[in-house]
Amino acid sequence: KAGVTQTPRYLIKTRGQQVTLSCSPISGHRSVSWYQQTPGQGLQFLFEYFSETQRNKGNFPGRFSGRQFSNSRSEMNVSTLELGDSALYLCASSLAVGQKYFGPGTRLTVT
Amino acid sequence: DQQVKQNSPSLSVQEGRISILNCDYTNSMFDYFLWYKKYPAEGPTFLISISSIKDKNEDGRFTVFLNKSAKHLSLHIVPSQPGDSAVYFCAASPDSGNTPLVFGKGTRLSVIA
């Protein structure tokens, strides 16, 4: 069974731009969660989608948004990028509940 | 306010010896705890979990101990192998369902041959 895939793997953007990251979950998994990993803060929860609905949301500003499609694939968008948004963005999928399987992440650098 | 704390950013251990990684939490609602291992350029992979009804869970070389009264858990790796060198994250949740995981900042383990 293929694992969680994330595209792109690396991205460089300029302050003020926006970015869209994509996540394809493991086949059959309907829950997709997004986490931000930074050296100072560890992994912080962004949001979780299940059956195209946002089920949980972390404490991030409204510049961070996401969505899930009918095939369970998910995208997250960050608008008006700031230097502090530079991080590894991780996507995790799971069945409705239970163990989360992480993708390799997208490394975003904001200059 | 950090609810899950891994106070040791790094740990070095000789091959064959025991590695002990520690994790403390502050939220008494946490009932389910997990350890993830992360290699560079890869996502975290699940290692072992424990629910609050137990105080120990074992899987091969990996054992997790939970002390609810102290709000402390630890991961023991015996014997340690060079392939165990990675960043280990402790995570917690109020349940094993869809509630988001709260992660610690991680401990980098280096196993020296």
Residues recorded for chain A? 111
Considering Cα of B53, then B27, then A50, then A85, what sign does the dihedral take? negative
Number of H-type helices and E-type strands within chain B: 0, 11
Q: Which residues of B touch A94 (CB under 8 A)?
A: 98
Six-digit token string for A92? 């995790």
Is the Cβ–Cβ distance between B53 and B67 less than 8 Å?
A: no
The CA distance from B102 to the nearest CA of chain A, in Å, is 7
> By C-alpha distance, which of B44, B46, B43 is closest to B34?
B46
pLDDT of residue B95: 82
Six-digit token string for B44? 């975290």
CB contact under 8 A, A105 and B43: yes
The type of residue at A88 is: L
Six-digit token string for A94? 């799971």
Segment B7-44, tens digit of pLDDT? 999 999 999 999 999 999 999 999 999 999 999 888 99
Give the pLDDT band (50/70/90) at residue A19. very high
Cα–Cα distance for residue pair B103/A36, rounded to 1 Å:
11
B100 DSSP 8-state letter: P
Cα–Cα distance for residue pair A110/A93, rounded to 1 Å:
26
Chain A, 68-107: which have a CB under 8 Å from a chain B CB?
Answer: 90, 92, 94, 96-105
pLDDT of residue A96: 67
Q: Which residues of B touch A43 (CB under 8 A)?
A: 44, 89, 91, 101, 103
Segment A42-84, tens digit of pLDDT? 899 999 999 999 999 999 999 999 999 999 999 999 999 999 9
Residue A58, chain B, CB below 8 Å: the answer is yes
Is the Cβ–Cβ distance between A101 and A2 less than 8 Å?
A: no
DSSP string, A23-91: EEPPTT--EEEEEEEETTTEEEEEEEEETTEEEEE-S--TTEEEEE-TTS-EEEEE-S--GGG-EEEEE
Cα–Cα distance for residue pair B51/B16, rounded to 1 Å:
28
Residue with tokens 């930074």: A38
CB contact under 8 A, B100 and A98: no
From residue A36, alpha-carbon distances to A86, A90, A98 in Å are: 9, 6, 20
Q: Which residues of A touch B49 (CB under 8 A)?
A: 99
